[in-house]
Structure 1
Amino acid sequence: MKKPEETDAAPKKKGALRENIEAIVVAVILALFIRTFVVQAFKIPSGSMKDTLLIGDHILVNKFIYGVKAPFIKKSIIPIKDPQHDDIIVFEFPEDPSKDFIKRVIGIPGDVIEIRNKKLFVNGSRVQNSHGVYKDPKIYAARAQPRDNLGPVTVPQGKLFVMGDNRDFSYDSRFWGFVDLVAVKGKAFIIYWSWDKENFGVRWSRLGHLLE
């Protein structure tokens, strides 16, 4: 005949195991919800956004700011606002949707974009800010390639024109066209980690840097 304390032990162990499993399931669901609808982490693999973003920067992207999208169908079920000029956005690369690209919004629907000898114009006005940098003194004619001379082109409805801040070394809308608004995943807003692979060290000064 079993002692009373032995018969009571099994249910307690089963209850504790169940609680742990439930806690793990809830944590996984919560993590998936946050990643899908609220915020997602990305790593910068290339130098197209230098000097705003460096290779090895790890960033957080606000996925809620442009509205809540239904998974898989990429349709906004709770629209909030569209990307604006100078937003740094992560989106599905038009030529290969399995890849994520990060660029800065230069033109929104209806804008007229023109580039003349590396000088950027939006709706006829010269755009001058500290974001875009030019590191190659060469200037290519439009017939050679669209990097330094382009347009004018009008941004269609439902589209965006984007460019990397490292203007001479960025593969962007100048080469492959516009980004669909539905392909935008979110707005980059902070660097939470930065690893300098060449010097094998942490870039401490970049941690917590808010992106503009």
Structure 2
Amino acid sequence: MGRRGAGRAALDWVVTIAVALVIAVLLRTFVFEVYIVPSGSMLETIQEGDRLVGEKVSYRLAGPRAGDVVTFNDPQDPSVTLIKRVVAVGGQTVDMHDGVLYIDGLPQQESYTEGKPTEPLPTNVVDGGLSYPYTVPEGCLWVMGDNRTNSLDSRYFGPISVSDVTSHAAFIFWPLPDAGGL
């Protein structure tokens, strides 16, 4: 192979690497992202340190629904990504008493909370205060961690905007013993 052939091969490699990088950036931006779970607020569903994939396509077609596990920008620090379960969507009413979560007046059977009680936080925690029952504004979600006794969630910061949702948590891929769909 002459100089011309070697130069062409090098250019082919550079183009291949550049195309691969562009594809990787586009996939991460528009299709999926990998997250490392930093806390135990979603125990026992998701363990601290689990690595999961959040997909970004489905919420372009339809919004989050109650029961979905989502990632979103922390309302108090948008540079931080949180992961919680959607328990109510815009227009639904949230109430909590005697350790039970009520949505639209119906007690919720939440097997993933493992019987941990759901209690409202003091009403002065959220700016402006919250009182229950609370109707989630349209375009917003009420999110809670599955580990209800150790989760800073909508009881703490109020509802989140649907526009702040960054992905639908699809599955855990690492560590292998925790791997599976959410």
Tell me which residue corresponds to 1:205.
177
Select the residue among 14, 25, 28 that pairs with 1:32: 25
Shift of 1:129: 2.0
CA distance in 2, matches of 1:157, 1:144: 23
Contact 1:90 1:186 in 2 (8 A): yes
- The alignment's C-alpha RMSD in Å is 2.2
Select the residue among 44, 47, 60 that pairs with 2:40: 47
Tell me which residue corresponds to 2:51.
58
| 1:163 and 2:144 correspond | yes
Distance change (3 Å), C-alpha of 1:143 and 1:103: closer
User: What amino acid is the match of 1:164?
Assistant: G
CA distance in 2, matches of 1:111, 1:190: 27
* TM-score, normalising length: structure 1: 0.79
Tell me which residue corresponds to 1:13.
6
Higher RCO (CA 8 Å, separation ≥ 6 residues):
2
Superposed CA offset, 1:41-65 (max 9, x none): 1011100000000011100001111
Identical-pair percentage? 32
CA distance in 1, matches of 2:137, 2:35: 28
Q: Secondary structure at the residue paired with 1:18?
A: helix
Shift of 1:150: 5.9
User: What amino acid is the match of 1:130?
Assistant: S
Tell me which residue corresponds to 2:169.
188
Unaligned runs of 5+ in 2: none
User: What amino acid is the match of 2:166?
Assistant: K
Q: Secondary structure at the residue paired with 2:133?
A: strand
Which ranges of 4 or more aligned residues in structure 1 deviate by more than 3 Å? 133-137, 139-146
Contact 2:69 2:85 in 1 (8 A): yes
User: What amino acid is the match of 1:153?
Assistant: Y
Contact 1:110 1:157 in 2 (8 A): yes
Distance change (3 Å), C-alpha of 1:141 and 1:62: closer
Residues 134-145 of structure 1 aligned to structure 2 (within 5 Å): 134-135=115-116, 142=122
Equivalent pairs, count: 179
User: What amino acid is the match of 2:181?
Assistant: L
Residues 127-138 of structure 1 aligned to structure 2 (within 5 Å): 127-135=108-116
Tell me which residue corresponds to 2:65.
84
